[in-house]
Amino acid sequence: MRIIMGLFNKGTGEVHLKIVYWGPENAGKTENIVRLSDFLKDSGRIVTLLGKDGSTIYFDFYNPVLTLPNGLKVKYLLYASPGKKAARLARKLVLAGTDGIVFVVDSDEKRFKDNKESLHELQELLEIKGLKDVPIVFQYNKRDLQTALPVEELRRELNPQNYPEVEAKVIKGVGVLETFKEIAKRSLINFLKRGNFGELDFP
């Protein structure tokens, strides 16, 4: 059964869109949201549910609000899915009703298998939930590592569909805002195709 995606509140004039940052453990999902909150000051708040070992059990949550030139307000509900392999159920719950996905790739050659496994799980869950048409953006993180695999190899093995992609050094803030803008734009366009909310002019 497909969960309803994208909600429009006529009373507030807001569109609510859910974005999920997905990827293997320690790929940089949480760090993306933390860095983004630094760029978009006073635009939302972060809520994190942590386990005893300090890792994310369920999700990180951040809700920046953007106002488009046509007056439409868009609230993005950002979630970083937990990366631990034992947290599959939590990841499945976080994915429900998503309007866009950022797949955060760990460029370290030692993490290649983890990237493949995480991507396979994502594809499997998208199929089950009927979300195959959800916009996806690939972010190749940790490009500053000496052990980083070439982007060409990562693209060939992980992104043969040629989804939009961004190279990043998230811990330094590089590529964070670009990634968010790309998935924010694509998820909003996808939502607007299903309703008449005026002309789109994304900043």
Per-residue pLDDT tens digits for 7-50: 766 677 788 899 999 999 999 998 998 898 888 775 566 666 65
Question: What's CA 172's distance to the chain center, in Å?
Answer: 18
Distance CA 113, CA 66 (A): 37
Which residue bears the tokens 């909310």? 197
CATH class of 7-192: alpha beta
- Here the tokens at position 187 are 């998820």
Q: Residue 34's CB: how many other CB atoms inside 10 A?
A: 19
pLDDT of residue 157: 98
Q: Considering only residues 69 and 198, tell me which one the structure prediction assigns the higher pLDDT.
A: 69
pLDDT of residue 201: 43
Question: What's CA 2's distance to the chain center, in Å?
Answer: 19
Residue 6 has pLDDT above 80, yes or no: no
Confidence of residue 61 (pLDDT cuts 50, 70, 90): low
Distance CA 66, CA 87 (A): 32
Which residue bears the tokens 């006529």? 10
Give residue limits of the domains in the chain.
Answer: 7-192
Mean pLDDT on 140-160: 98
